[in-house]
Amino acid sequence: MTTHGATLGLAASARAWAKVNLTLHVTGQRSDGYHLLDSLVVRVGVGDLLVVSPSDQFELFVDGAFADAAPLDGRNLVVRAARLLDNGVGRGARVTLTKVLPAAAGIGGGSADAATTLRLLAAHWGLPLPDDVSALGADVPVCLHDTPQRMRGVGEVLTATGPLPACWLVLVNPGKSAATPEVFSRLKTKLNPSMPEVLPVFETAPAFAAWLGMQRNDLEAAALQVVPEIAVCLDALQDALLARMSGSGATCFGLYESAALADHAAARIAKAQPGWWVAAGPVLS
C-alpha cells in the first residue's frame, strides 16, 4: 500500500488496491460452515482512494462512481475497521473514501478499504495494527499485503509467494453482483484438490498463464448459475493469455503480457459494452 504523508496526526492518503483471486480452490468445509480455500491472491493497480485528515470526531464521507453502494454507518467496513482500531476510546479523524471499485464484485473492494483504513488510522493515531482483523472479514488479512500471497484456511493462513513475472490484468464486471452465500450454496463439491504444495517459479507471463490454466476457480460454475453474464465477460477476454472469474464473481479478469495489450483490450471491451465496469492495471509484485 502506498501512503502519502502517513505521519501522526497529519493528513495522509492511500489506494485500496483491488484483490484478485488468480486461483480459488475450495478444499473443504469446517463444522461451523466456513469454507476452506487455497488461493493465489494478487493486488492490481486499480483501487479506491482513502484520505485521512484531522478531526475532533470520527467522520466518513464517500464519493466516486460507486458511492451509492457505500453506506456511512457500521455496515461500511471502513467504519468497522476504525472502531476495531479505536477500541472504544473515541479518537477523531475524517476519512474520505472515493469508490472506484464496484461493490460485491469478487475483487475485495470493501476488504481493501478496511485494510487501508487500518493502516492509515494506525499511523494517524500512533497505534499498532490489531493482531487479529478476521472479525472484519476473511479477505481483510490478505488485503493488508500488496504483494502476491497464497491464502489458505478460511483466509487466515498467508504465505508470500515471491515476485511474479510482469503482467497486467483487465477487470470486467457486467454491472451485476453475485452474493457469496448463494454462490457457495450452489457449489456441487466442497472437497476439491488444492494447488501444488510448492508453487513453481515463473520466468515469463505466458509461462505463468499456462500454469494458472491448469488450476481452477471452483466457484465459477456456481456463479454462472447466479449471474449468466459472467460467460459473456469471459468471452470478451478471449484474447488474454488467461481469462477467469475472480473470487465469487461477478468480476472476471484477463491476464496480459504488456500494458499496451491490456489497455487495448480494456478500450475494446468498454466500447462494446458501455454499461460494464472495465479497468486495466498491473499486477503488484
Map out the domains of the chain as residue ranges: 3-282
Residue 9: predicted pLDDT: 86
Cite the active site residues.
Answer: 19, 139
Local structure of 211: helix, strand or coil = helix
Residue 6: predicted pLDDT: 52
C-alpha cell at 143: 488485503
Nearest by Cα to 42 from 8, 17, 13: 17
Do the Cβ atoms of 16 and 3 come closer than 8 Å? no
Task: Report d(CA 85, CA 155) in Å as an integer.
Answer: 20
Task: Report d(CA 18, CA 238) in Å as an integer.
Answer: 22
Residue 7: predicted pLDDT: 65
Locate the DSSP E strands across the chain.
3-4, 12-21, 25-29, 35-53, 58-64, 93-99, 149-153, 157-160, 168-173, 242-245, 252-256, 277-282
CATH class of 3-282: alpha beta
Residue 3: predicted pLDDT: 45
Residue 198: predicted pLDDT: 96
For every one of its 285 residues, what pLDDT tens digit does the chain have, with 9 covering 90 and above? 444 445 688 999 999 999 999 999 999 999 998 999 999 999 999 999 999 999 999 999 999 999 999 999 999 999 999 999 999 999 999 999 999 999 999 999 999 999 999 999 999 999 999 999 999 999 999 999 999 999 999 999 999 998 899 999 999 999 999 999 999 999 999 999 999 999 999 999 999 999 999 999 999 999 999 999 999 999 999 999 999 999 999 999 999 999 999 999 999 999 999 999 999 999 999
Residue 162: predicted pLDDT: 81
Encoded amino acid at 194, one letter: S
The Cα-based distances of 169 to 101, 227, 252, 257, 260 in angstroms read 14, 21, 10, 9, 11
